[in-house]
Amino acid sequence: MRIESVSALEVFDSRGCPTVEAVVRCEGGRPCRAIAPSGASTGRAEAKELRDGGRRLRGKGVRLAVENVRTVIAPALIGRDGDHQQAIDRLMIELDGTPDKSRLGANAILAVSLATAYAAADAADRSPVEHFSHLWNEHARDLPATNELSLGRQPLFPTPMVNMISGGLHAGGNLDLQDFLIIPCGATSYREAFDWIVEIYWELGRRLNDAGFEGTLVGDEGGYGPRLTSNEQALEFVVAAIDGAGLKPGQDVGLALDVASSHFYHDGGYHLAREGRALSAADMVDLLERWVDRYPILSIEDGLAEEDWDGWKQLTDRLGHRVNLVGDDLFATNSRRLQNGIDRGIANSVLIKLNQIGTLTETFETMRLALSAGYRPVVSARSGETEDVTIADLSLATGAGQLKVGSVARSERLAKYNQLLRWEDSAAGRWPFAGRLPFADLKTPPA
């Protein structure tokens, strides 16, 4: 399955920001494309996007990254076997030669890595799910039995974690917390889950409008961006919307938070601007515990900041048996950082963002490490997304169990959700829906 051509061009993401699209073709196959996403609330440990600098598009152009694909990556990849994903990815890591992919650009490398997978699938006449399963099995074949939730062993329709209210850097700082999300864990199929989500989203919009808040304006990921009076008020609105949609909070639909606290942590304090107060790590843990007592929360992401490992330890000791504690900025999809967390007993789940690490192979390595240590992976989009649907295919194929894409508005989000609906339609019961599986061992039953 010889790679015959590799090219790239500058396209634009859901914030109008330039990004890299790569196009790869293998012998006997069609040209296949993939597009790198881009974050706004990025972690410091992430692989680096290469941007042009200078005056054009405020320095955000990616012509240099595109040029790197054409002049450095393409000549090295052409003629190689596109099915050897690990060798292709290793070769690009070597060509780059930096620990954070800053020379060629993680945006350039990731787009090529993913486009190669699609091109190899096409040339082999495999569906993307079959091909991603085949690549994932090279890593997960010998997953030890410590993975008690049996995630990662077969394709699973992921339980979506869906943004209802947006704050932080994704909605102009209306609230301190970045995402207030729902998890339709009690649904019996992905399609049923999706119906519930849409009902709740519409109900929430109506309730926000009726109460005089913005129930139409949406943030970067499609969640509403109301200027509420406190962070907790968002939780109250979401619970009321679940109830108002005729569903049972906790039983049918749980809550999740992405606190994204790295972005309001300075000088050793957590600065809740909306509430005019600064909290210590211990205060933050108390606050989150109070919310877990009061609301049916199943998952908390980045409850503490990326460099506050001691705070994270306190949080894990206190809440790690009750909710999924997801490291996003904390781990940055980096297996070295995740190993450090596992060694120190920090968090129990990891957000998986392909562009935080920059290749498909390294992403699989981090997912494998997570599952082998009993940590749960949550495959995630970035706040800057496109029509690219790789994360939908990948989350299904790997049986990761959870997918976090944003809300049910904005087509760069729906592209992923709709892709899973298509798979469900064509799979005819072949693959189960993860449902409650990723939350099965939590000790407190949802309130």
Span from 83-91, 148-156, 243-251, 380-388 in contact with ligand PGA (CB under 6 A): 380-388
Ordered DSSP codes for 212-239: TS-SS-B-TTSSB----SSHHHHHHHHH
Phi/psi for 403 (5° steps) reads: -140, 130
Per-residue burial over 240-256, b if 16 or more Cβ lie within 10 Å, else e, is: ebbebbebebbebbbbb
Residue 178: CB minimum distance to Zn ion, A: 6
Q: Does 176 bind Zn ion (CB under 5 A)?
A: no
Contact window for ligand PGA (CB under 6 A) among 7-15, 37-45, 138-146, 340-348: 37-45
Contact flag: residue 203 with Zn ion (CB under 5 A): no
From the list 301, 337, 343, 344, the residue with the least C-alpha distance to 319 is 301
Query: Does residue number 419 form part of the binding site for ligand PGA (CB under 6 A)?
Result: no
In angstroms, what is the minimal distance from the CB of 249 to Zn ion? 23
Indicate whether 258 belongs to the interface with ligand PGA (CB under 6 A). Answer: yes
Find the catalytic residue in 46, 49, 203, 221: 221
Entry field: residues in the chain: 447
Task: Say which entry of ligand PGA, Zn ion, none residue 42 contacts (CB below 5 to 8 A, set by partner kind).
Answer: ligand PGA
Q: Is 304 helix (H, G, I), strand (E, B) or coil?
A: coil
Neighbouring CB atoms inside 10 A of 127's CB total 14
* Catalytic annotation, pick one of 101, 203, 306, 353: 353
Q: Where are the alpha helices (DSSP H) in 85-179?
A: 85-96, 106-123, 128-140
Whether 192 sits among the annotated catalytic residues: the reply is no
- Rounded to an integer, what distance in angstroms lies between the CA atom of residue 345 and that of residue 267? 25
Least distance to ligand PGA from the beta carbon of 351, Å?
6
Q: Which of 106, 151, 177, 260 binds ligand PGA (CB under 6 A)?
A: 260
380 binds, among ligand PGA, Zn ion, none (CB under 5 to 8 A by kind): ligand PGA
Q: Is 309 left (phi over 0), alpha (psi -120 to 50) or beta?
A: alpha
Cα–Cα distance between 265 and 186 in angstroms, integer? 35
257's tokens: 């938070």
- List binders of ligand PGA among 103-162 (CB under 6 A): none
End-to-end CA distance of the chain: 53
Instruction: Collect all residues with Cβ–Cβ distance below 8 Å to 383 and sequence separation of at least 6.
Output: 15, 38, 39, 40, 41, 169, 170, 220, 221, 406
Could you say whether residue 39 binds ligand PGA (CB under 6 A)?
yes
CB of 39 to ligand PGA, least distance (A): 3
Binding of ligand PGA by 349 (CB under 6 A):
no
Interacting residues with ligand PGA between 299 and 328 (CB under 6 A): 328
Strands 265-266 and 254-258: unpaired
Any contact of residue 393 with Zn ion (CB under 5 A)?
no
The distance of closest approach from Cβ of residue 177 to ligand PGA in the complex, given in angstroms and rounded to an integer, is 11
**Which tokens in the block code for residue 364?**
């699989």
| DSSP for residue 260 | -
The answer to whether 176 contacts ligand PGA (rule: CB under 6 A) is no
Binding of ligand PGA by 380 (CB under 6 A): yes
How near is the Cβ of 302 to ligand PGA at its closest, in Å? Answer: 7
CA distance 276 to 23: 49
Helix (H) / strand (E) containing 396 = helix 390-398
Q: Is 328 in the site for Zn ion (CB under 5 A)?
A: yes
Is 353 catalytic? The answer is yes
Q: Assess 42 for contact with ligand PGA (CB under 6 A).
A: yes
Query: What ranges make up the beta strands (E) of 147-246?
Result: 159-166, 179-183
Shortest Å distance, C-beta 87 to ligand PGA? 29
**Which residue is it, tokens 């699209």?**
21
Residue 258 in contact with Zn ion, rule: CB under 5 A: yes
Q: Is 21 in the site for Zn ion (CB under 5 A)?
A: no
| Part in contact with Zn ion (CB under 5 A); list of ranges 115-123, 154-162, 295-303, 337-345 | 295-303
Tell me the residue nearest to ligand PGA as measured from the CB: 39
**Contacting residue, 101, 382, 410, 413, with ligand PGA by CB under 6 A:** 382
Interface residues with ligand PGA (CB under 6 A) are: 39-42, 178, 258, 260, 328, 380, 382-383
Active site residues: 221, 353
- Where along the sequence are the contacts to Zn ion (CB under 5 A)? 258, 301, 328
